């Protein structure tokens, strides 16, 4: 499995393009907002002859879904996310402007809901969906036991955790999600977060002041 990381938009959000030897790929959190960012992503997919099969969201906060409409318009794929975050698609233009972004189009509607323990398959690979609410009610992490990697969205960061002061965030729920569902994973599991550098489960067990 190959993981290509793009850091997009002023929030420095990590967008992950994951693919295997079959060249089938899944895109996690399309955060591209500028025309330049959109073309960088499109060009990488085309230059590497990748066949994009799925577009999945760890959650639907603005900075993680900016590029969903572009992906639909370009590749014909609708995003997939947890139903509990679908409310975040409402009034995206107004939301964006409150942060200083000029977004002229409504959010791209979901094509499917991601469920707890669902297998996200592409090529000869798969990722298991893990529901980890707290940062948002529909936050999902995507885990590959075979590859030893976890895409954690904004739930767990190197030395930190996701913020819980946004609407429908909850600190106690987030801590429970992490301790019950993520920390039991092998210590060697590499955690790819929604912002910042990667880490490991073992490092966070020892060094994360919130856990």
DSSP 8-state class, residue 195: B
Q: Which two tokens stand for residue 183?
A: 């920390």
* Residue-wise pLDDT tens digits, 83-133: 999 999 998 877 877 777 777 778 999 999 999 999 999 999 999 999 999
**What local confidence, expressed as pLDDT, does residue 105 receive?**
79
pTM (two decimals):
0.96
What residue segments make up the domains of the chain, in order of their start? 2-207
In three-state secondary structure terms, 177 is helix
User: Is residue 112 within 8 Å of 72, Cβ to Cβ?
Assistant: no
Q: What are the DSSP calls for 21-44, one per residue? A: TT-EEEEE-----SHHHHHHHHHH
CATH topology of domain 2-207: Metallo-beta-lactamase; Chain A (3.60.15)
How big is the chain, counted in residues? 211
């Amino acid at each position: 499995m190959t993981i290509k990381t793009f850091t997009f938009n002023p929030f420095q959000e990590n967008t992950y393009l994951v693919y295997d030897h079959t060249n089938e790929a899944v895109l996690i959190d399309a955060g591209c907002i500028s025309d330049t960012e959109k073309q960088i992503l499109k060009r990488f997919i085309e230059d590497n002859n990748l066949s994009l099969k799925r577009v999945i969201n760890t959650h639907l906060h603005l900075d993680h879904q900016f590029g969903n409409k572009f992906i639909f318009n370009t590749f014909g794929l609708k995003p997939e996310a947890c139903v509990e975050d679908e409310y975040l698609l409402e009034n995206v233009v107004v939301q964006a402007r409150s942060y200083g972004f000029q977004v002229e189009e409504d959010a791209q509607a979901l094509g499917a809901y991601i469920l707890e323990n669902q297998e996200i398959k592409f090529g000869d690979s798969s990722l298991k969906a893990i529901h980890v609410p707290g940062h948002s009610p529909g936050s999902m992490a995507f885990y590959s036991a075979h590859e030893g990697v976890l895409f954690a969205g904004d739930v767990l960061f190197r030395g930190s955790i996701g913020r819980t002061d946004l609407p429908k965030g909850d600190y106690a729920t987030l801590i429970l999600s992490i301790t019950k569902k993520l920390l039991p994973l092998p210590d060697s599991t590499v955690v790819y977060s929604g912002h910042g550098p990667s880490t490991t489960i073992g490092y966070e067990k020892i060094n994360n002041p919130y856990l």
